[in-house]
Structure 1
Amino acid sequence: MKNWQEIEFLIFDLGNVIYDIDYQRTFEKINSRLPENQHHLIKEFMVSPIHFDLETGKSDENTFRNGVRDFFSSDWEDAWIDEVWNSILVDIPQERLELLIELKKKYPLYMLSNTNSIHFKVVEETFKRKLPEGTWPQLFDHMFLSQEMGLRKPDEAIYKEVVKGIGAAPEKCLFFDDLKENLLGANKVGLQTHHIDHPKALINFFQNV
């Protein structure tokens, strides 16, 4: 980040910035129903069109579930697929929510996330459960979600849409993400960025500015 004094808008990734996620939990559940010689498939699935099409809203939930069954050659139940898919979602630490509530008093807050409709139902329920009543979804001025935008990070196009949607000069926006490639995409369109590289990174950043 170049200059904190310029910042007027804060943009947050969701996974591992606000909401703790753990891919290994999904990997282990999938692998519990697969022979060992197929355990490599889950990592291939995560970068497959089946996943990315759900994440960009190009396919619906039923198409995704059928795609899962086809990809793994397994006749898994819808409910189990959703359970496994959502097991990646761990929780939102309360201290991060309290930080966001305080930041909201000073700045417009935005979310920018590669997400999908199956995950986001759980995400919303978690926010509603853990925030003071009536706080959700007003905590964020707008949520830029890949599933609604038809775009995903780190493509430059999604950051251009975010800047346009906020209506601000990109250098006045600070974007927090846990993946460096997503920050590089944001930098290319002029956003200021900060890498969240450990669980306390967001809290520590605002303690130091």
Structure 2
Amino acid sequence: MKNHPEIQFLIFDLGNVIYDIDYQRTFNKLYAQLPEEKHPLVRDFMVSPVHFDLETGKIDAPTFRDGVRDYFSVDWEDNWIDEAWNSLLVDIPQERLDLLLKLKEKYPLYMLSNTNSIHFKIVEQIFAQKLPEAAWPTLFDHLFLSHKMGLRKPGEDIYRQVVNTIGAKPETCLFFDDLKENLLGAEKVGIKTCHIDHPKALINFFGNV
């Protein structure tokens, strides 16, 4: 990396950095199934304990689905809950996958994501489908996933665990995320950061790799 010769390790958030997501798609599915007086509950659900507990692995998928039913006072089936929950996952643009494959030739790559078991099952399927055969398991040197680690961004502990596991000095790591608060958390432990603030930002950052 011409402008960052000190960087040795690349760490990528998942949502809206690699994988396009759109929360409104999930919101719309929920709105369509709820009376209008319950609509304010939809956005609040994203910061509810049941959501955060799934993201940190404190509860499993069946418990989460029961939590959704309790939260909205509904009797939705498991499959419908998963469909609504996964509808926010849009797609991985091929140009980003191509970029990662090129970067893999020069750098160790890591993923650091606030995610959950329901979403990540689909994420893995899409990576496997869109990458060359057998490339998915080795694309990233390590997957740092909140539901596996019991920690979430932007808490400093998750970043400390990342650099400790990599065995790197924080200043030799560059972290890409679309949320400024997550970047601030990383900066507090000395990790270099880059804000991904539009769909072409990652591609533009690296230019011709």
1:47 Cα deviation after fit: 0.2
Alignment partner, residue 77 of structure 2: 77
| SS at 1:168 equivalent | coil
**Which residue in 2 is equivalent to 1:45?**
45
**What are the Cα deviations for residues 31-55 of structure 1, in whole angstroms up to 9, with x where unaligned?**
1011112111111110011000000
Identity among equivalent positions (%) equals 75
Please say which of residues 38-47 and 86-95 is displaced more in the overlay: 38-47
1:68 equivalent in structure 2: 68
Query: How far is the alpha carbon of 1:199 from its aligned partner?
Result: 0.2
Q: Report SS of the residue matched to 1:29.
A: helix
| Alignment-derived partner of residue 124 in structure 1 | 124
Aligned to 2:65, the other structure's residue is in SS state helix
Q: Which residue of 1 aligns with 2:54?
A: 54
Q: Which amino acid aligns with 1:57?
A: G
31-40 or 196-205: bigger deviation: 31-40
Alignment correspondent of 2:147: 147
Q: 2: distance between equivalents of 1:135 and 1:86?
A: 24
Post-superposition Cα deviations, 1:136-176, rounded to whole Å, max 9, x if no partner, equal 11000000000000000000000000000100000000000
Residue type of the alignment partner of 2:169: A
Q: How is 1:5-20 mapped onto 2 (pairs within 5 angstroms)?
A: 5-20=5-20
The aligned residue for residue 35 of structure 1 is 35
Structure 2 spans left out of the alignment, 5+ residues: none
CA distance in 1, matches of 2:205, 2:92: 18
Instruction: Specify the alignment match of 2:191 in structure 1.
Output: 191
Tell me the residue number matched to 1:169: 169
Aligned residue for 1:159? 159
Structure 1 counterpart of 2:136: 136
SS of residue paired to 1:137? helix
SS at match of 1:143: strand
Distance, in Å, in 1 between the alignment partners of 2:46 and 2:164 is 30
Tell me, in whole angstroms, the C-alpha distance in 2 between the residues paired with 1:133 and 1:195: 31
CA distance in 1, matches of 2:53, 2:38: 23
> Gapped runs of 5+ residues in structure 1?
none
Q: Please report how far the alpha carbon of residue 208 of structure 1 lies from its aligned counterpart in structure 2 after TM superposition.
A: 7.4
Distance in 1 (CA, whole Å) between partners of 2:150 and 2:70 is: 24
- Following superposition, which runs of at least 4 residues in structure 1 exceed 3 angstroms of deviation? none
Which letter maps to 1:117?
Answer: S
Q: Give, in whole Å, the separation in 2 of the partners of 1:197 and 1:205.
A: 11
Q: Secondary structure at the match of 1:138?
A: helix
- Partner in structure 1 of residue 94 of structure 2: 94
What is the alpha-carbon root mean square deviation over aligned residues? 0.9
TM-score using structure 2 length: 0.98
